Structure 1
Amino acid sequence: MQAARPTSPTPLPPPPKWRQLLDAVLYSSVWLSVAALGLMWATFLFWGVHISGRLGGLIFAATLFLYNLDSVLPYKHGQLPGATRRKQWIRAHRPQLLALALVAGTAAGILYLTDARLLPLTLFGGHLALISVLYSMPLWRRRGRWWALRDLPLLKVFLIAYVWAAVTVWIPALYLGRDWASPVVLVLFAHRFLLILALALVFDIRDYSKDRLTGTRTFPGVLGIRTTKWLGLAALLGAALLVPSGVSVAHAVALVAPLGLAAAVIWYAEESRPDYYFALLTDGVMVAQFVAVWLAVG
């Protein structure tokens, strides 16, 4: 009697169109770039000024370039494999992400070179670009793997918070001719720094197992996930206390209210959460910050 031949598994049907579109927006960093644009725009609205279209396009394109460049770095695809939907999507779309990064980088360069108000900020913006590029770029090889700035113990959340706060607060201040070291600017910078720091800890929780296996020391790996959540809540409390003087009550509420959403996201963050929890909801806190400020001053 002949043994039955094994049947090949039935291929899974493709996800619905809306989900394919949502995956593309989230995992290609378009949503994150919208969040960066929104935070910078919120800073302009703080001074009652609408953001320059050229500068807004620059921050959107530069964010799209840097994060997609990070996604397609060859050495990262030689690290431990990941089974999450996000990682599978990125692996399947590496050529498209590389093309998107090149287009976004070209657009960012053109927008920068054609804005006379940005050229004097070259030195300041240059150090932020350098940190951003070196953040994930392989710099040295140790214990059989490449290491970047993000792999230095406990450093990556501070690098993320510093660059995002500097780009979305200090660059608008300098663009408008304001003193970056004035008290009102420094308070707004500290508020933004603590917000981004708290949200960055959520992504450390997401990467808890991967970071432990690759030897990257992060706050969840050193302090534990629960203590890291309390650290994130403490950062949000500090942000809530750092509201620049002289703002209207509505604007102060707009700066503080989204911190409640951020606190909920931090408290319920778990490594096992679906990718949408991090890519859509956590990054969405920054979009909520812009919407709140826009409604308050509109």
Structure 2
Amino acid sequence: MLINTNTLLKIILKSQVIVGLVGCAILMFGLNLLNISVKEVGWTRFVFVFTACVLIYRIEWVIHKFGVDKGLSMWISGKGLESRIFYPLLILVLLLSFFLGRKEWWMLFHLGVISLLYNFPSTLPVNFKPWRSVPFLKVFLIAYVWAMLGSYYPATFLQIPLQSEGLLMQFACLFFYVFGMTLPFDIRDYYTDQRQQLWTIAGAIGIPKTKILAMVSLSLFCYLALELGISSWWLGLTFLLSLVLVGLANPLRSSFYYNILMDGSILLFLLGAVFWA
């Protein structure tokens, strides 16, 4: 039975496969900057990162779409699509965690906790506010998690001193890139965040200034990437593409624009920098 294009895109969006691939690509990118090949590291860590990213974002997606009570019942029941996705992913993450070193386990654990607490359900019967309700925090948390995954995380299992100046530059490079590419998602959620009285950068300074801030952040990334030795032609090409995507962002664009084109351009840059540039 053939699947039409729209159905295929919906499956890709709901499965969070692109997020998992971006996580793996960021790790590859970080290793490439450290002059370490994927073969030297092995595929266990990449499978773990992919699975953990998909699991975390899938949990968040279900909670936001169906609510906490229904989401929990969908997983606990052991029936339906969500259980068939949730439990295999959870078991795989737990099994793969045994193959990680102690330091890298704690590194990944704290990144996972940050990712989950960011979207902690406010409807649970506990006195805790989700971190996303803290004004302006959203894009900084996202940029921090992804930048750590591509810099200090590989340093932990490669036993590279965390005080290394080059490592800090690598973190800053990725932070500015992810920050710049995440701000358009603030623009996407502009009206939703206003209705929920959630203070974001786009809500505070407006959409035009948010685009300018994103472009400044991407320019800082470009400078640091050149300092780190990223190919100038590939960097220039993807930098221009990023500027166009940021410039065309608005709250009325479809999920295809943000979750396929924006996220896809991030994946394209990272993989291109590793394999083609």
- TM-score normalised to structure 1 length: 0.79
Deviations 1:238-279 (A, max 9, x none): 1111137463xx635445542222211111001111211001
- Deviation at residue 78 of structure 1 after TM alignment: 5.5
Q: 2:235 & 2:45 partners in 1: Cα distance?
A: 22
Q: Residue type matched to 1:153 in 2?
A: P
Q: 2:59 & 2:241 partners in 1: Cα distance?
A: 30
Query: What is the total number of aligned residue pairs between the two structures?
Result: 260
| Alignment-derived partner of residue 62 in structure 2 | 72
- 8 Å contact kept, 2:170–2:228: no
- 8 Å contact kept, 1:113–1:119: no
Is 1:131 the equivalent of 2:114? yes
- 8 Å contact kept, 2:97–2:105: no
Q: Residue type matched to 2:113 in 1?
A: L
User: Where in structure 2 are the equivalents of 1:272-283 lying within 5 Å?
Assistant: 272-283=252-263
* Higher mean displacement: 275-284 or 285-294: 285-294
**Larger relative helix fraction:** 2
Q: 2:87 & 2:241 partners in 1: Cα distance?
A: 34
User: Where in structure 2 are the equivalents of 1:141-290 lying within 5 Å?
Assistant: 147-243=129-225, 245=227, 247=229, 251-255=231-235, 257-290=237-270
| Alignment-derived partner of residue 109 in structure 1 | 94
Q: Give the share of equivalent positions with the same residue, in percent.
A: 25
| Alignment-derived partner of residue 27 in structure 1 | 14
Deviations 1:8-61 (A, max 9, x none): xxxxxxx95232122111222101211111111111122332332000001100
| Residue 122 of structure 1, aligned match among 80, 91, 105 | 105
In structure 2, the CA distance between the partners of 1:49 and 1:254, relative to structure 1 (3 Å rule), is: farther
- 8 Å contact kept, 1:138–1:148: yes
| Residue 33 of structure 2, aligned match among 46, 65, 90 | 46
Which ranges of structure 1 fall in alignment gaps of 5 or more residues? 1-14, 80-93
- TM-score normalised to structure 2 length: 0.85
Q: Residue type matched to 1:36 in 2?
A: G
Q: 1:109 & 1:254 partners in 2: Cα distance?
A: 37
Q: 1:154 & 1:140 partners in 2: Cα distance?
A: 21
* Higher mean displacement: 260-269 or 15-24: 15-24
Secondary structure, aligned partner of 1:242: helix
Which ranges of structure 2 fall in alignment gaps of 5 or more residues? 69-78
Which of structure 1's runs of 4+ aligned residues deviate more than 6 A? none
